[in-house]
């Protein structure tokens, strides 16, 4: 090999290295450029108003609305039953409270112990009645809530929904009325 051939080889190696470096730089730049566009992003997202974001979120809200409404209705029914049970038990507990006050005057304490046992027994019976009446609704509400949570979790896998939520938060749409 001549010195001239060796110099050509050196130049060829240098140009290949420069070419690889340029290709690597371009690949790194592309990776960075692509990372700037989060998943689910579309051109013009940054210019969207809160109203436009809300409009695009509407189909997602409509998907989850029936389950949320059903769970809300069930929670209202459960609350109504609890209030009904409390109203039914109030006169009994008032009478037992009056008995406890009267028993407090017994110097032996025997009356007080008997009234305390009666109060405990009534509270236990009231709790059992309420539980038996409300358990089916409670179980149904639990199932609905779990379904709603699962639906919400699966919706989190939608990159566009997550992007819209991020945009709304960034623009302060959740604070506007």
Is the confidence at residue 12, as pLDDT, over 70? no
The model's confidence at residue 9, banded by pLDDT at 50, 70 and 90, is: low
**Residue range 33-59: mean pLDDT, rounded:** 85
Which residues contact residue 163 at a Cβ distance below 8 angstroms, ignoring those fewer than 6 apart? 38, 39, 40, 41, 42, 45
Position 38 scores a pLDDT of 79
Indicate the domain borders of the chain: 1-37
Percent of the chain with pLDDT over 70: 78
Position 109 scores a pLDDT of 86
Q: What is the rounded distance in angstroms from the CA atom of residue 109 to the CA atom of residue 118? A: 14
DSSP secondary structure of 3-17: HHHHHHHHHHHHHHH
Distance of CA 119 to the CA centre of its chain: 40
How many CB atoms neighbour CB 175 within 10 A? 9
Query: What rounded mean pLDDT belongs to the chain?
Result: 83
Q: What is the rounded distance in angstroms from the CA atom of residue 121 to the CA atom of residue 71? A: 34
């Amino acid at each position: 090999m001549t010195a001239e051939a060796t110099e050509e080889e050196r130049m060829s190696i240098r140009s290949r290295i420069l070419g690889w470096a340029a290709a690597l730089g371009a690949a790194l730049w592309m990776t960075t450029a692509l990372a700037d566009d989060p998943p689910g992003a579309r051109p013009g997202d940054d210019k969207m108003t809160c109203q436009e974001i809300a409009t695009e979120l509407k189909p997602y809200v409509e998907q989850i609305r029936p389950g949320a409404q059903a769970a809300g209705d069930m929670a209202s029914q459960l609350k109504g039953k609890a209030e009904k049970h409390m109203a039914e038990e109030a006169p009994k507990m008032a009478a037992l409270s009056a008995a406890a006050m009267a028993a407090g005057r017994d110097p032996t304490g025997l009356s007080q112990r008997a009234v305390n046992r009666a109060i405990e027994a009534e509270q236990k019976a009231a709790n059992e009645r309420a539980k038996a009446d409300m358990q089916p609704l409670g179980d149904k509400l639990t199932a609905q809530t779990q379904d709603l949570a699962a639906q919400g979790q699966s919706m989190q896998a939608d990159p566009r929904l997550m992007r819209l939520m991020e945009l709304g938060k960034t623009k302060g749409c959740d604070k506007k009325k």
